[in-house]
Amino acid sequence: MKIKTKLRLGFGFLFAVVIFFGALSLFYINQIAESSRVILKDNYETLSYVREMRKLLDQKQMPLSEADISKFQLYLNDEKHNITEPGEGQAVQELDKAFKKLISSASAPASQIFFLQEIKASLLQIEVLNMNAIVRKHEAAQASVKKATMLLTLVGAFTFLVLFSFSVNFPSFISSPLRKLQEGISEISQKNYSARLELPDNDEFADVAKSFNTMATRLRDWENSNLATVLSDKRRIEAIIGQMDDAIVGVDNKGIILFINAAGRAILNLGNDTVEGKDVKELSNKNDLFKRIISENVKDKAFKVVVNGKESYFQLVTREITIPNMNVGKAEGISIASQPAGTVYILENITEFKEKDEAKTNFIATISHELKTPISSIKMSLKLLNDERVGTINDEQRQLINHIEEDNARLLKITSELLELSQVETGNIQLNFVPADPIQIVNYAVNAVKFQAEQKQVSLDIISNQHLPQVQVDVEKTAWVLVNFLSNALRYSPRKSKVLIEIKQLPQMVEFSVRDFGKGIDEQFQKRLFDRYFQVPTDGQNKSGSGLGLAISKDFIEVQQGKIGLESALGEGSRFYFRLPAIES
């Protein structure tokens, strides 16, 4: 029998038992509810009518008024339509007759007393009949409840025994082959490839057992035939790692050194000492460089090490190694999830790239410095050409001179920025840290671009908190960054708009920001905006710079322990900001 058929039969049986018990319960509950409804409705209404008629007779003076007679007749008519007990109809008729006589003998007080007694007697008779009926029906309902309770108890006990027996026996009927399969898999995970499954040939588990036995046989054959290949591959990998120029150190998840290649031994100056199998803490206590490496204090930073009498530069790269989780107990199944196996530390030799970068920096610095002299000479010559004492020029010539002046100024700015960049890269930048008032830095920058703003009719609005703390900065370099922000904002701001310069205090920091209301910067360009030589594509209306201003600004701010960034959205303008540490008062 297939597993699907077993499950269908088992759950079908459970469904039938539940349906049977539920239907029987609903039947008896409906009977009890019907009995209760009869007791609570008809007889209770009759007693209510009788009570209201008696109250009317007891509380009112004889003879009754027209309103009281109408109320009494209303209750009497309701009672006529609610006769449910034997003898109740005759008593209602007598009540009706006595009431009619009562209201017809309004002028004879003695007759009224007689008829009033007849009415009360009839009301009492109706009341007694209904009270007895309530008691009788209550006893009948109690008998039905007891009978239903007994039957439901018996059926419930039987159902419980059936379901309990089913829940005990059916799972084992299904899980027994699975448990055997799990035990077999556990044996395989322990590399016991001689394990075999023996299951009856009457369901799908027989096919599973055959497949399992075939797998175990092939695994045993594979282990016997591939062990030598695995060892050969291991030696080949070790040889490749050993001959690599980059230093490589492998550490397992328990902190034990697994391997280290020749380059790693040379850099760490280990010689022929055996370090494999030792704890990293033991080696780090004796070797400061190794201690820095495993603590990752030099990660993503170039650091210098003297190897064989030559200065070399390295950069640390770490790789977390994970492997399939085959570490399971005997009673557990195989888990395919991965688990950490350790860490590989790679010291990439970047000496060649460092030397090329330094050569590039020196070349840029030299070229920039050499270019400043002829550019300054061109600037002086243009100034002389504009002097009428030298000679007059026509409008076309003046226009050409103006274009040359603009290009010369742009070229001079680029060379100045390249010089600043080379100073930052070589570490030759000189910073003069002094306590400074933030508003003074802003005023200095605003004055520097004031003429440019007036030419474009852009207003410069300063927003500043009161009592701002001072900042310990290089005023000139910080103002240069702010001037760069303002120049960019003015370049991309529409005419007759405004630029907001805001200074505000943050926890332990002071933030300077410049906001324009231009077209904004696309999100895809924002992450690269502070990269060197990167320029946002323009529509031709605005001249782009050299792509160095924001990169140099970032270096200036970060070297002062600050942070720089921007916020921008298309159509909403841009906000450039930097934050500098505040001086505690």
The predicted structure's pLDDT at residue 408: 74
Same structural domain for residues 360 and 292?
A: no
- DSSP E strands in 475-523: the ranges are 498-506, 509-516
- Please give the average pLDDT of every successive group of 10 residues along the chain, which has 585 residues: 64 74 74 61 78 78 76 80 80 79 68 76 80 80 79 80 74 69 77 73 68 78 67 74 77 81 77 76 76 70 70 77 60 55 78 66 63 74 74 78 75 67 60 89 90 90 90 89 91 91 93 93 84 69 64 86 92 93 85
The reported pLDDT for the residue numbered 469 is: 92
CA distance 140 to 136: 6
β strands within 174-296, DSSP E: 247-252, 257-260
- pLDDT value of position 542: 57
Burial of 248 (0-12, 13-18, 19+ CB in 10 A): buried
Q: Give the tens place of pLDDT for each residue, 448-498.
A: 889 889 988 999 999 998 889 999 998 888 988 998 899 889 988 988 899
Domains identified in the chain, total number = 4
544 lies in some domain = yes
Alpha carbon 177 to its chain's center: 42
- Picking from 425, 447, 480, the residue at the C-terminal end of a domain is 425
Same domain, 139 and 276: no
- Cβ contacts of residue 543 below 8 Å, gap of 6+? 410, 491
Identify the CATH number of the domain in which residue 576 sits.
3.30.565.10
What are the two backbone dihedrals, phi and then psi, of residue 433, each rounded to the nearest 5 degrees?
-80, 125
pLDDT at 119: 78
**Domain match, 413 and 465 both:** no
Beta pairing partners, 306: 311
The 10s digit of each residue's pLDDT in 346-369 is 877 777 766 666 666 666 666 666
Instruction: Tell me, yes or no, whether 560 and 443 share the same domain.
Output: yes
Q: Which domain holds residue 436?
A: 432-581
Half-sphere exposure of 560 toward its Cβ, with a 13 Å CA cutoff? Answer: 32
Task: Kindly state whether residues 442 and 490 are assigned to the same domain.
Answer: yes
Print burial letters for 324-362: b (CB count within 10 Å at least 16), e (below 16).
Answer: eeeeeeeeeeeeeeeeebbbbbbbbbbbeebeeeeeebe
> Same domain, yes or no, for 417 and 492?
no
Tokens of 446: 């605003």
* Per-residue pLDDT, 331: 47
Domain boundary among 382, 397, 425: 425
Q: Which two tokens stand for residue 383?
A: 């100034």
pLDDT at 333: 47
Last residue of a domain, one of 366, 393, 425: 425
At residue 208, the pLDDT reads 75
> Residue 550 CB: number of other CB atoms within 10 A?
22
Kindly state whether residue 232 falls inside one of the protein's structural domains: no
Same domain, 29 and 160: yes
Pair (102, 157) in one structural domain: yes
